[in-house]
């Protein structure tokens, strides 16, 4: 007889929940403390000057560029700020459309709107990322850029996406917020597009609580991102407010990273290989243990060797089964959830109803035909997301933790799927 599920009053597979899966944060130790204390002792929390500015943020940028094999890196205050700087660097604004995937966090289409552009949603495939075959039908005379998003450690098919983009002269931004350290055919996510972004927010693979970064090989895009993030200035070149009007100068914002975040980012960056290798190890145990379990299916990984390992995403037979699976597994003390509530991101009311803070209709009213979003415009996203269930994997998990996940999934699958 099968064991009674915890959701029905049985004993849960685990007595206690798994360690929280905030990968970078769970790896905090004395190294981050030392970095922070150094900034306090120097009394210099601002990146550009101070009585004894340590240049932690600059060092993070240098090391990030080196580790990722790119020419330029810019630290900013969040992944959203990084997207804003990348979009503005690419010149995206009023009257521009940007193709984004139907599965992503709201920040991706949100940044496009805040930049003055309009997001157009491409469908996804079973990897949960943009389907390269669904990009072309969305391109029109207004299209300026594509943002692709490797979801929870699974790299996008960047060769195919770049091929379409280059054919249509579109700028590509890889929003690698969730996938720092994943790679596609040996090349790191966040190094494929013309200009790319990372988030260092708490849920991310490395974290400063809040933070982000922009990387690019293109000196012009870099300069424009730097200017946008610092009120139009490029201090390292021309100092404070000394811009020659012949420069490509424009009004910017303040997305500067402070030295506390810079100090933590620097330490976390050097922990990235260790974090990735631990998560890959744990994920492999879980996936190996769940081979050929009836009813269990996984999202497709575009390059197994490059998967960051930060999530196991199941694709189940139906939405009803996925919801039941999530509930039953969570009751076994294996924290499980449906990514983005199981719906495409364009279904969120601020996007779907095109609501901005001023209700002026801008930026959606810049085109010769109205922009209309419909529920079924990305049918694969509707179907695939409704059937997803996610377990985030953490770098501090033990092999026993991994075995508990295997046992719980098998127990639940046998009775629910």
Contact between 354 and ligand PLP by CB under 6 A: the answer reads no
φ and ψ of 392, to 5 deg: -80, 140
Total residues contacting ligand PLP (rule CB under 6 A)?
A: 14
The interface with ligand PLP within residues 145-174 (CB under 6 A) comprises 149
HSE-CB at 353 with a 13 A cutoff on CA atoms is 7
Shortest distance (Å) from residue 296 CB to ligand PLP: 26
**Does residue number 78 form part of the binding site for ligand PLP (CB under 6 A)?**
yes
**Residue among 157 and 178 whose Cβ is closer to ligand PLP:** 178
Nearer to ligand PLP, 12 or 252 (CB): 252
Binding positions for ligand PLP, 210-229, rule CB under 6 A:
212
- Residue 233 neighbours by CB under 8 Å, 6+ apart: 227, 240, 241, 243, 252
Q: Applying CB under 6 A, which of residues 57, 104, 330, 392 lies at the interface with ligand PLP? A: 104
Chain residue at closest Cβ approach to ligand PLP: 79
Query: Should residue 108 be labelled a site residue for ligand PLP when binding is judged by CB under 6 A?
Result: yes
Listed residue (96, 98, 99) closest to 124, CA to CA: 99
Q: Which of 127, 178, 386, 392 binds ligand PLP (CB under 6 A)?
A: 178
Piece of 50-58, 74-82, 112-120, 156-164 that binds ligand PLP (CB under 6 A): 74-82
Whether 417 and 321 have beta carbons less than 8 Å apart is answered as yes
- Report how far residue 370's alpha carbon sits from residue 3's, in angstroms, rounded to the nearest whole number: 56
H and E: helices and strands count for the chain? 13, 11
Q: Which is nearer to ligand PLP, 103 or 296 (CB)?
A: 103
Angle at 362 between CA 359 and CA 364, to 5 degrees: 110
CA distance 146 to 118: 11
Question: Is residue 196 involved in binding ligand PLP (CB under 6 A)?
Answer: no
**Residue numbers of the site for ligand PLP (CB under 6 A)?**
78-80, 104-105, 107-108, 149, 175, 177-178, 199, 201, 212
């Amino acid at each position: 007889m099968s064991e009674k599920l915890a959701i029905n009053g049985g004993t849960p597979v685990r007595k206690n929940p798994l360690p929280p899966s905030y990968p970078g944060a769970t790896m905090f130790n004395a190294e981050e403390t030392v970095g922070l204390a150094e900034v306090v002792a120097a009394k210099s929390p601002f990146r550009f000057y101070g009585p004894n500015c340590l240049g932690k943020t600059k060092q993070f940028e240098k090391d990030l560029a080196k580790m990722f094999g790119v020419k330029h890196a810019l630290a900013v205050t969040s992944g959203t700020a990084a997207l804003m700087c990348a979009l503005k660097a690419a010149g995206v604004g009023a009257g521009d459309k940007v193709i984004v995937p139907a599965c992503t966090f709201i920040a991706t289409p949100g940044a496009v709107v805040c930049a003055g552009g309009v997001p157009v949603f491409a469908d996804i495939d079973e990897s949960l990322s943009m389907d390269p075959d669904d990009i072309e039908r969305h391109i029109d005379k207004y299209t300026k850029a594509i943002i692709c998003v490797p979801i929870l450690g699974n790299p996008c098919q960047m060769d195919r996406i770049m091929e379409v983009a280059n054919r249509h002269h579109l700028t590509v931004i890889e929003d690698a917020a969730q996938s720092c350290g994943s790679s596609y055919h040996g090349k790191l996510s966040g190094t494929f597009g013309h200009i790319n972004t990372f988030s260092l927010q708490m849920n991310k693979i490395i974290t400063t609580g809040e933070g982000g970064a922009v990387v690019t090989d293109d000196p012009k895009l870099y300069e424009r991102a730097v200017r946008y993030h610092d009120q139009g200035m490029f201090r390292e070149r021309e100092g404070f407010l000394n811009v020659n009007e012949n420069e490509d100068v424009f009004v910017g914002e303040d997305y500067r990273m402070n030295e506390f975040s810079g100090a933590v980012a620097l330490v976390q960056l050097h922990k990235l290989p260790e974090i990735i290798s631990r998560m890959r190890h744990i994920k492999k145990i879980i996936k190996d243990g769940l081979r050929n379990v009836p009813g269990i299916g996984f999202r497709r990984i575009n390059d197994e060797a490059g998967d960051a390992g930060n999530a196991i995403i199941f694709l189940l037979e139906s939405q009803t089964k996925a919801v039941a699976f999530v509930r039953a597994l969570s009751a076994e003390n294996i924290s499980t959830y449906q990514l983005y509530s199981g719906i495409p991101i364009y279904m969120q009311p601020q996007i779907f109803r095109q609501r901005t803070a001023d209700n002026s209709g801008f930026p959606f009213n810049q085109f010769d035909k109205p922009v209309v979003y419909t529920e079924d415009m990305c049918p694969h996203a509707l179907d695939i997301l409704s059937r997803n269930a996610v377990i985030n994997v953490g770098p501090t998990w033990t092999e026993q933790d991994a075995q508990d996940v295997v046992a719980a999934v098998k127990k639940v699958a046998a009775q629910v799927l």
